[in-house]
Amino acid sequence: MLDARTIDIVKSTVPLLESANTALTEHFYQRMFRDNPELKDVFNLSHQKTGRQPAALFAAVLAYAKNIDNPAVLSAAVERIAHKHTGFAIQPEQYAIVGHHLLETIKELAPDAATPEVIDAWAQAYGALADIFIGREEQIYQDNETRAGGWRGTRAFVVKEKRVESEHITSFLLAPADGGAVVDFQPGQYLNLHLDSDRLEHKEYRQYSLCQAPNGEHYRIAVKREQGGVASNFMHDHVQQGDTLQVLPPAGDFFMEVAPDTPVVLISGGVGLTPMRAMLDQLLSQNHPAPVHWLHACENGAQHAFKADIQARRQAHANLETHTWYRAPLESDRPAEDFDATGMMDLSKLREAISQPGAHYYFCGPVPFMAMVKDTLSGWGIADEQLHYEVFGPHQSL
Ligand SMILES: Cc1cc2nc3c(=O)[nH]c(=O)nc-3n(C[C@H](O)[C@H](O)[C@H](O)COP(=O)(O)OP(=O)(O)OC[C@H]3O[C@@H](n4cnc5c(N)ncnc54)[C@H](O)[C@@H]3O)c2cc1C
Ligand code: HEM
């Protein structure tokens, strides 16, 4: 428990944090990677270069300082971050390293404001937050380890199948090298790969959403080749059927909790369809009685992953409606069969069909796409609690 004085002091530093903004976390990461270069094998350095991870950490630190007297506000963020951390196999002893660099950063960037009292208050506040993360992460590790087919840390998986799903997306079917079972997951959750190869400068952790419902035997992920991307190009170009990959247990706080009478709308842009496909499979396998909508936008038919799959599901399930937008269809694309509309996704045309009372909306895709979806749905008066989304990278609020 933090005392009132500590809470007051931490809150008094909010303007200081706000004025420093992401310079705070950029400085923090620079000094941490300088003194603890082994962490370059843990963090995604592309997220450092693009600034996305310093921005995510800054948002978390600021939210913590602002809400330190009302930590319940932070519980959703804590859950998401703890899941993210477990995918990187973060260990309790690493919290001391991060804490040290955070306090040193405050001293270096604000030497006048960083009185011993301020540093002591932040040390206590950091320690309290670290304890929350360490406790929750251990629970997740134990849960993954003790459930049927579960494990802790990395486990060797063999690529049983490598299948081209579209021009840029290839899926990988992964089964344990030990021949054992695999732990179930909640559709929407992701798998973490720990990639290590002479072809890579550093070891790399990457998250890939599980794109089929759990079956106890194997997992399927689908990877989009990102221009200039370290891991996705490695997966496309160098990981072949029969190869072994190190895999961490499923993680993530993005999954469905819906009653049988809840209408569900699954909305995706590009490779953001991967978690949606697992959710769709779950709903259909449970014969979800309420209407289900599958709304997908992509570039054209060549980039439309899982097209035949989704078409087959629509034909087999009367309560499933699908709608696909191609931004720029090819000559070879056939409207009606392959896609329903040209251009960017425009939800307004489907408003009546998809805004049934009590519907829940799950969406995933590029951040500007998700911001459009959220703005549209919020504009129709749909409550935040009915909107659920996943960012394929360091979290950003929409
Ligand atoms: C929860 C979650 C689920 C995910 N699910 C999926 C999924 O199902 N399928 C999928 O394909 N991906 C998924 N991702 C994304 C995936 O984890 C990787 O981020 C993605 O494959 C890109 O990794 P990469 O190593 O190829 O690219 P990185 O090397 O990480 O680079 C990412 C981007 O940054 C750019 N970049 C790198 N360095 C710089 C620089 N100096 N300046 C400017 N730009 C730069 C790269 O060009 C690239 O576009 C998911 C992510 C999360 C967090
Ligand atoms: C109280 C301390 C900490 C806070 C507030 C914090 C906060 C965060 C946040 C906000 C994210 C982004 C989450 C998301 O995208 O959803 C994140 C990711 C991450 N954190 Fe932490 N973290 C802390 C401690 C640690 C520690 C001790 C380590 C271990 C070295 C660590 C390693 C990572 C890694 C590797 C990622 C993913 C980075 C990426 O994708 O580029 N964190 N953390």
Contact 221, 174 (CB under 8 A): yes
224 lines ligand 1 (CB under 6 A): yes
pLDDT at residue number 103: 96
Residues in the chain with pLDDT < 50?
none
222 lines ligand 1 (CB under 6 A): yes
Where does 155-251 sit in CATH, by number?
A: 2.40.30.10
Q: For residue 271, give the DSSP letter.
A: G
pLDDT at residue number 381: 97
pLDDT at residue number 109: 94
**In a mutational test of the pocket of ligand 2, which residue from 42, 84, 131, 207 has the highest number of ligand atoms less than 8 Å from its CB?**
84
95 lines ligand 2 (CB under 6 A): yes
Residue in the block written with tokens 């995706």: 268
Contact 221, 210 (CB under 8 A): yes
Kindly list the domain boundaries of the chain, sorted by start residue: 4-146, 155-251, 264-390
DSSP string, 203-260: -EEEEEEB-S---SS-EEEEEE--TT-HHHHHHHHH--TT-EEEEEEEE-S------T
264-390: CATH architecture: 3-Layer(aba) Sandwich (3.40)
The two structure tokens encoding residue 77: 């963020």
pLDDT at residue number 71: 84
Contact 105, 136 (CB under 8 A): no
4-146: CATH architecture: Orthogonal Bundle (1.10)
pLDDT at residue number 1: 83
